[in-house]
Amino acid sequence: MTFSAIRTWLETWRRPVTRPARERLAVAAREAARALGGKGRLSPYRLWPTPRDVQILPAGQSPLALRLYGLIQGLPVPIDLPFIDAAGLLGPFARSRKAGRAGRVTKENAILFLPRIGAPIARGEKRRVLKVSVGERHHFREIRMLRSFAGEPDIMPPLAAADPAGRWLVLDFVSAARKLSAEEQADVFLRKIAPRYYRRWGVKPKPTARLLRHRHDAAAIEAEAGRLGLALPADWADGKLAWTITHGGGICEEVIETAEGKAFLLDWEKAGLDPIADDLLQVFEYAPEDTLALFASLNPPGALAPQVQLAVALALRSRYNRRKGRPIPARARSDARCAGLLRSR
């Protein structure tokens, strides 16, 4: 190890959490506390770096595992927050070592449970979740989505407060009955969320050329589809795709179901106007027949067949993963499974 590398390691050990992450969390917490009607009285907390993220705990709590991580990852960082008995985490790019390798942190979040999970709640109070952007991006998109569905129960968690500048938002906490597998999340999404959500926005046909202008040329998509063993129709590039406001994130990682059977889809920060196949491809792997049935019921007249639209979305997703410096093996396996399911239909 060079002297420069040793010096960098020591500096990030002494200051393991980036200054922008600390400052943005502190400012957002004070603003959110005022918006929720709090008195703003500050309490001491510590930011504990781990190999994956940064844990946020009251100053009096110091679990052995976090103290051991501190020997390598860095000293706990003091911070004052206007909450009593909260807990949460900062994402990996709040860590100085991770942020230093990235060079520029455009997207990273902090999540804080108010109060922490397991802590008692005063009568008449609710547990809430504070979500803070500690990178350069904001939460305008997610805030707009949550406000759009404020009158629609059981699709998105209720929005309790939000920053006019888009830096933070506060949601009512939704307690899941149990942890759902990816297959179970796909099933809940298809049965309880997707039909209502997509019909609320509507699904409209738009020329495939619109997609090609923004992403890849037709030849590249056809070549990737061929590599996956899929053949696109000769006129697919002149056809139309079904477009809507998609979730855009990891659907089979963000679905929860309560003990009362209510279903919610979390994390709408990637929502946008895109082909509906981008969303439905994520659940197709786990429930192909149900996905195709829903797609057929939503597919507007004049649009390409659902199987063709899914094949186009899959070719784009596969090409994107393979062009990374380090393709993600799990995604490659998922793409191969989806291709096999499409070939059999």
Mean pLDDT of 305-315: 98
Could you tell me if 291 and 338 are in contact, meaning their C-beta atoms sit under 8 angstroms apart? no
Q: To the nearest whole number, what is the mean pLDDT of the chain?
A: 93
Mean pLDDT of 130-144: 93
Instruction: Tell whether 338 and 256 lie within a shared domain.
Output: yes
Which of 96-100, 130-134, 160-164, 281-285 is least confident? Answer: 96-100
Mean pLDDT of 221-240: 97
Residue 279 has pLDDT above 80, yes or no: yes
Residue 264 has pLDDT above 70, yes or no: yes
Please report the pLDDT score of residue 134 as a whole number.
94
- The reply to whether 177 falls in a domain is no
Instruction: Tell whether 321 and 215 lie within a shared domain.
Output: yes
Please report the pLDDT score of residue 150 as a whole number.
81
CATH of the domain at 245: 3.90.1200
Please report the pLDDT score of residue 102 as a whole number.
59
- The reply to whether 241 falls in a domain is yes
Residue 68 has pLDDT above 90, yes or no: yes
Q: Beta-carbon neighbour count of residue 309 at 10 Å?
A: 25
pLDDT digits (tens, 9 = 90+) for 231-244: 999 999 999 999 99
Domain boundary among 172, 198, 230: 172
Could you tell me if 162 and 169 are in contact, meaning their C-beta atoms sit under 8 angstroms apart? yes
Instruction: Tell whether 30 and 107 lie within a shared domain.
Output: yes
Which of 96-105, 217-226, 230-239, 297-306 is least confident? Answer: 96-105
Burial of 39 (0-12, 13-18, 19+ CB in 10 A): exposed
Distance CA 269, CA 243 (A): 18
Could you tell me if 81 and 22 are in contact, meaning their C-beta atoms sit under 8 angstroms apart? no
Please report the pLDDT score of residue 154 as a whole number.
80
Domain boundary among 172, 191, 221: 172
Q: How many domains in the chain?
A: 2
pLDDT digits (tens, 9 = 90+) for 13-65: 999 999 999 999 999 999 999 999 987 799 999 999 999 999 999 999 999 99
Question: Of 263, 274, 285, which Cα lies nearest the Cα of 195?
Answer: 263
| Structural domain for 161, as ranges | 3-172
Please report the pLDDT score of residue 152 as a whole number.
77
Instruction: Tell whether 228 and 159 lie within a shared domain.
Output: no
Domain boundary among 172, 194, 219: 172
